[in-house]
Amino acid sequence: MAYQTTNPFDGKTSATFPECDAATLEAKLQQASDCFDQWRTTAFAERTAVLAKAAAILRERPDEFASLITLEMGKLIAQSRGEVALCAAILDYYAQHAEGFLAPETLPTQSGTAVVESAPIGVLFGVEPWNFPYYQIARFAAPNLMAGNVVMVKHASNVPQCALAFERLLHEAGAPAGAYTNLFISKDQVAQVIDDPRIRGVALTGSEAAGAVVAARAGHNLKKTTMELGGSDAFIVLEDADLERAVKGAIQGRMGNAGQACTASKRFIVVEALADQFLEQFQAALASFKPGNPMDKDTTLAPLCSEDALGHLLQQVRRAVEGGARVVSGGGRADHAGAFMQPTILTDIDPANPAYKEEFFGPVALFFRVPDEDAAIALANDSPFGLGGSVFSSDIDRAKRVASRIETGMVFINRPASSAPDLPFGGIKNSGYGRELSGAGIQEFVNKKLIRVA
């Protein structure tokens, strides 16, 4: 597995990093284990100081961190700065609230006393993706470090400089050696780390296939896991929706990060009364996106993360068309050097088409028209995924009722899916299990220990 920086805008490889050898990996595992013995008893005030300092560094030097995101995976520079700001907010959030989240809970009993304490469980291993190179690891590392665990992270092979930058950030902020460890390791070494008895929990954000392999390996070792996997979020537009707001939300939901987000809006389900108007305006808005250098603030269409990602997406579109789908707009490679995909709309997708059940990780929108609310809900739920979703309606109570009927982990009303430190993040079905962020995220890898006095 080659860890290297290849700019998806110009295809140039500027840095390569070797994988850990066996001795180095063993030394890192032992260092993390030794650090846990110290970190678990470190006062909340000291842990807070580390995370607060890391947040302050991100805010002081945003371009230093943001430019690496854009260099390695092609995100528009303004969006990269936004990701850095979100990471700072996550670090601050857990620095401020972790002690309260983990405070002992007294239980009512008929006699004596009963208290549940929250204790760290040990060294945790995270396998993280490239699409949000800092955010993905911040939401794993911040709550668990504040809980007294220590973390080791195998990041995606195409964002190695981001991986190293986050490790340096925490060390600069005062985290002891071994509290946060970056690992450049092979697939075989991933299995070795999961098997290692010093690892007590495993978290993965990534594809269904990767989740199945990692969860099976961890399960064989009786280790707790959380899985945040893919999504094919429904974006429901009811007939009483504010059309302008819905189209604006659709553009934000589909085109953020060039569509490379698990919670991106992917299936646009519009009630017949608004379908033609919505499609016309949606198509016109997508046509305005122009490819260019993602470091340029005027660029509106970023490249995909790699040529391989672009090739996979083009293949999905071809299969969809062969299965009967109609290309409303786009459908091919953008006329620009680099890994650029035209913003694309596909429609006439029936359940037998492979596109009906797939996740499109890029700027490809699947458009469906339905007769009414019930049909919209049925179509939204007819998916192997269940991560996020959106409902647009001028009647908030109605939108809430629809949201309650959608089988997914998160629903957003009159806006596309988003993330914030105080909102739980996670899904159901093939989108995984467990939650990150908010008070829920810090509870995943702690021992809820009962202490009972008779």
427 CB-near residues (< 8 Å, 6+ apart): 228, 229, 231, 385, 386, 387, 388, 408, 409, 410, 433
Indicate if 272 belongs to the active site. Answer: no
Catalytic residue among 20, 35, 87, 262: 262
- Would you give the distance in Å from CA 229 to the centre of its chain? 8
Closest by CA position to 121, among listed 39, 205, 57:
39
Q: Give the pairing type, strands 150-154 and 180-182.
A: parallel
Indicate if 105 belongs to the active site. Answer: no
Report the alpha-carbon distance of residue 208 to residue 219 in Å, rounded.
16
Report the alpha-carbon distance of residue 340 to residue 343 in Å, rounded.
9
Indicate the DSSP class of residue 355: G
- Would you give the distance in Å from CA 256 to the centre of its chain? 13
Catalytic residue among 72, 83, 167, 228: 228
C-beta neighbour count of 259 within 10 angstroms: 24
- Would you give the distance in Å from CA 165 to the centre of its chain? 19
Strand, coil or helix: 241: coil
Cite the active site residues.
228, 262
